[in-house]
Amino acid sequence: MNVHRVRRTAAPVVASALALALLGAAHPSSVRSSSSANPAPASQPAARWTAAWGASPQPPSTGFTPNWSQEGFSRQSVRQVVRVTGAGERVRIRLSNTYGTSPLSVTGATVARTAKGKRAAVEPGSVRHLTFSGRRSVEIPARGELRSDAAPLPLKRLESVTVTLYLAGTTGPATFHSQAWADTYRADGDHRADASGAAFTGTTQSWYYLTGVEVGADRPRREDGIVLFGDSITDGFGSTPNTDRRYSDALAERTGRPVVNQGIGGNLVLNDSAWYGERATARFGRDALDQSGVSTVVVLEGLNDIGFSEAKDQPTYKPSPVVSADELVAGYRELIRAAHAKGLRIVGSTLLPLKGSDHWGPHAAKVSDEVNHWIRTSGEFDAYADFDRALADPADPDRLHPAYDHGDALHPNDAGYRLMAKTVADVL
């Protein structure tokens, strides 16, 4: 079994007052007046919130596939479908203007159950207008984030929900998540309350402004959510679109626990990138540690740090510095310290086999072996998942097994992601 456990006593949880203040509600001066909706009864108990879906924000860019991030939106509705991995009686969303250079005006937002088998449609009668500090409209400051108020919408685990934003003004370039592996829809005009999807004629496979969906429950629940933190393999590159077959989906199905995917295609541990987001050590606090109701973070990062310097035709990340194993280990140690300071368990993952991919070369082979040896033997992570051995070709251990290869000798296919989920589940 490709697993290893290390006993460790977790450090006390340290809450960030600044993060809680910023994300709990919009700044009073930035909230525009509008009618309140979905008021909670005065006797309603405070919900226990759990992150049930997530996507790491990225700066607007041309990305890997055509998207709307650079043009933004004007007098348009954006409809996004996600699958929640936890159940609750209420729901709230997390919106990000992290890479905006001016305030973002959200005229209104709704959440609804997704209609099965109908493009961009929602279940009639399930639409709930979201509020922000009691108001339907909100202005998110440049570089800011916020969470909505709670909306009464009971949801089952692994149920799909649809979030629709109406943006009456002109947004400019949009904070987004490049690779969604799911369709997002756009319509001219205000269609946030439409049950039908007929007005939504535009489609891309990116997410815009939406970075989290949380479910709230009245009864106390153990904080046992999982964050998967990493690059394109965590993000789900190579999985079948619109089928929820990323490794995060497979892990939620296997364990029954809430799982939040915080992968970014091309992401690096040590360096920022215009296309591939802020480096892991910079975004870890926001994307991994500031998730409601989680107890464990699983890290799979480093392939791009060592592989981009080998890639001969990599125009999106130049110059590509040559990174040593010691430098990567220093980055991992920074993540470990941050997780333990927040009282979270952190699981490391060995780097997958690279041979035959555009990331493969003499330096990458050497550093990958050194890094994987450290992850297996140092004991500094609380546990580790050995993806390198689990997904390797027995006939050539430096190469991804053909049965798990998406086709580029680097990214797994659906079967490979299911095996990754099993490998992680064995150490949780």
* CA gap 412, 409 in Å, rounded: 8
Is it the case that residue 37 has pLDDT exceeding 80?
Answer: no
Q: Is 400 helix (H, G, I), strand (E, B) or coil?
A: strand
DSSP per-residue string spanning 113-134? EBPTTSTT-B-TT--EE--BTT
Please say which residue of 213, 234, 252 terminates a domain. Answer: 213
Instruction: Return the beta strands (E) in 26-97 as ranges.
Output: 48-54, 74-83, 88-96
Is it the case that residue 43 has pLDDT exceeding 90?
Answer: no
Both 228 and 118 in one domain: the answer is no
Pairing of strands 392-393, 396-400: antiparallel
Both 407 and 266 in one domain: the answer is yes
Both 202 and 321 in one domain: the answer is no
221-225, 233-237, 291-295: least confidently modelled range: 221-225
Residue 19 lies in a domain: no
Both 246 and 172 in one domain: the answer is no
Cβ 58 vs Cβ 175: under 8 Å: yes
Least Cα distance to 301 among 340, 352, 362, 343 occurs for 352
At 47 the pLDDT is 65
For the chain, what percent of residues have pLDDT higher than 70? 88
Looking at the chain, the number of H-run helices and the number of E-run strands are: 9, 23
Residue 20 lies in a domain: no
Residue 198 lies in a domain: yes
Both 250 and 208 in one domain: the answer is no
Both 172 and 226 in one domain: the answer is no
Both 194 and 290 in one domain: the answer is no
**Structure confidence at residue 347 as a pLDDT band (50, 70, 90):** very high
Is it the case that residue 1 has pLDDT exceeding 90?
Answer: no
- Mean pLDDT over 226-235 rounds to 98
The CATH number that applies at residue 209 is 2.60.120
Cβ 415 vs Cβ 245: under 8 Å: no
At 11 the pLDDT is 33
Is it the case that residue 222 has pLDDT exceeding 70?
Answer: no
Tokens of 391: 């997904």
Residue 17 lies in a domain: no
pLDDT digits (tens, 9 = 90+) for 13-34: 333 333 333 333 333 323 333 3
Both 359 and 395 in one domain: the answer is yes
Would you report the helix, strand and coil content of the chain in percent, each value rounded to 5?
20, 30, 50
Is it the case that residue 131 has pLDDT exceeding 50?
Answer: yes
pLDDT digits (tens, 9 = 90+) for 295-305: 999 999 999 99
Total domains in the fold of the chain: 2
Bigger pLDDT: 365 or 314?
365
At 288 the pLDDT is 98
* CA gap 158, 152 in Å, rounded: 18
At 316 the pLDDT is 82
The CATH number that applies at residue 268 is 3.40.50.1110
At 317 the pLDDT is 83
pLDDT digits (tens, 9 = 90+) for 62-117: 878 899 999 999 999 999 999 999 999 999 999 999 999 999 999 999 999 999 98
For the chain, what percent of residues have pLDDT higher than 90? 82
Residue 24 lies in a domain: no
At 8 the pLDDT is 36
69-73, 116-120, 198-202: least confidently modelled range: 116-120
pLDDT digits (tens, 9 = 90+) for 168-184: 999 999 999 999 999 99
Tokens of 71: 């043009």
Residue 22 lies in a domain: no
Residue 89 lies in a domain: yes
- Determine the structural domain holding residue 407 and report its residue range: 3-12+222-425
Both 197 and 294 in one domain: the answer is no
Please say which residue of 181, 213, 245 terminates a domain. Answer: 213
Is it the case that residue 313 has pLDDT exceeding 90?
Answer: no
Is it the case that residue 420 has pLDDT exceeding 70?
Answer: yes
Please say which residue of 157, 180, 213 terminates a domain. Answer: 213
At 221 the pLDDT is 64
Both 227 and 196 in one domain: the answer is no
**Structure confidence at residue 315 as a pLDDT band (50, 70, 90):** confident
Residue 18 lies in a domain: no
Both 151 and 231 in one domain: the answer is no
C-alpha 296, offset from chain centre: 15
Is it the case that residue 326 has pLDDT exceeding 80?
Answer: yes
Both 251 and 397 in one domain: the answer is yes
Pairing of strands 151-155, 207-208: unpaired
pLDDT digits (tens, 9 = 90+) for 363-399: 999 999 999 999 999 999 999 999 999 999 999 999 9
* CA gap 348, 267 in Å, rounded: 16
